[in-house]
Amino acid sequence: MTRLLARLLVAAALLVASAPATAPAETPRQRPNVVLVMTDDQTVEDMRAMPLTQRLIGGAGVTFARSFSSYPLCCPARVTLLTGQYAHNHDVLGNRPPLGGYGAFRGTDDTLPVWLQRAGYATAHVGKYLNGYGRDVPATVPPGWDEWHGSVDPTSYMMWGYTLNENGTLRTYGSFRDEDPALYQADVYRDRAIALIDRWAPRRRPFFLSVMFLAPHAEGEVGLVRSAPRHRGRMADAPVPRSPAFNEVDVRDKPSWLQQGSPLLDADAIAAVDARTRSRMESLLAVDEAVRDIVAALRRHGELDRTLIVFASDNGHFAGEHRIPQSKYFPYEPSVRVPVLMRGPGVARGRVARALTVNADLAPTILDAAGAAPGRRRLDGRSLMPLAANPRMRSDRPILLETGESSRGDIDQDGTAVGGIGAGIDVPIYNGVRTDRYVYLEYDGGERELYDLRHDPHQLRSVHADPRYARTRAALDRVLARLSRCTGPSCRAGAGPIPPPAP
């Protein structure tokens, strides 16, 4: 197939797939459009590969500098986005059956797009959805979407050769080994999103557009992710950052699973970390350009100032910190901390918010901006719109860190890449609380960790056994006991005074 013919076929597919069976009723445009852009496994550090996104969203809006993924694993994190609930309330507790994955999500008819659709929004999704979609259960169109262009597993993890369910019709784009530039996954997602904006913007009905990219997640079993051909080699000589936690020398303060499963990284392992890091950054260049082009499409139609744009990642990723060469799930900052940027009506310009936020806040934020009501009786997150308007606001609300399924160290739970610690090591379920100053963690089996981030921001020395922190730990234990079973308002309550360590 020639490159020109491939481009023509992609263009034709975009036009056909973007045509709905019936046009939605038009209503007066009084509420903002909402565009949600999400990446997969992206860290805060990875944002250095996305200067356009930083300028066009963060520079024109607010960067939420301390945002967290409560359960740092793809499917639970994405269901939290769709429901505004912590995992212990939405009950998707992993990436695979029986406790996790798309097949375990029983509430697909009571989610953010359903609520927005009921409020009069046109809704569309492009790209990755929930782990197991099309693999564990048939790839049907989920409730709430007027337009559906969701990637079908396991092809979601292919930059070429992926299959999309396009409003009920399956279409495969290229093949895994044929790197046709016209069929690069991120570019096709971008073009699909822009086609939807072009068609919907002239109408008077507000729209919600969800665009979820694979980058910088690894492809299949290769452990790396391919960039667009035009970006190949762009990051070959890019410096790789090294935090003080990289290849941590002394892990005697860490739980037994990490001590047993994470030996010091040798030269080969460090070289592999660097190769992964550069491939991840390189893959984000196409996403950065997609953000630019989506913003340009909104501006071209006069809709940019009437659109709330939210950029986020589902969870973070390791790159050698605490001897963990890759993967997520584990409860340390590179895994749980995520980029979140927002611009649009009611959002301050060029500001940074430092209050703690969590991915359970995204659905309430979008509902608040849209003037829509949730179908679920209790949401655990809260709207970020007041904080977006006044980024100096402070809060003592703690963030829950939780898991619901133990992780096998040699397998990344999405089944696509080698995991982060030694083969055969089981990482127990944990629950934790993150406050402004502390991280306190409890594992099944009784092990504990406590970090005083004021003195130890890189989590190098757990003080859980330090007698000076006995009162601190007791207070955090009480907060965690509440959060681990919280629902609705109790999830949003403040932590109250946490005693500092004894002198």
Please list the active-site residues: 74
Strand-by-strand arrangement of the 207-212 sheet: 169-173, 162-166, 147-151, 122-127, 207-212, 33-39, 307-313, 340-343, 62-64, 351-353
Locus of tokens 């009723």: 25
Helical spans, DSSP H, in 102-170? 112-118
Cα 416 to Cα 469: distance, rounded to the nearest angstrom: 41
- The span from the CA of 279 to the CA of 388, in Å, is 33
Q: Which two tokens stand for residue 121?
A: 């929004």
How many separate helices (H) and strands (E) can be counted in the chain? 13, 19
- DSSP at 160: S
Rg (C-alpha) for the chain, rounded Å, is 22
Coil, helix or strand for 339? coil
Tokens describing residue 127: 């790209």
Degrees to nearest 5, angle at CA 83 with 428 and 299: 120
Helix (H) or strand (E) holding 8: helix 3-17
DSSP, collapsed to helix, strand or coil, labels residue 333 as helix
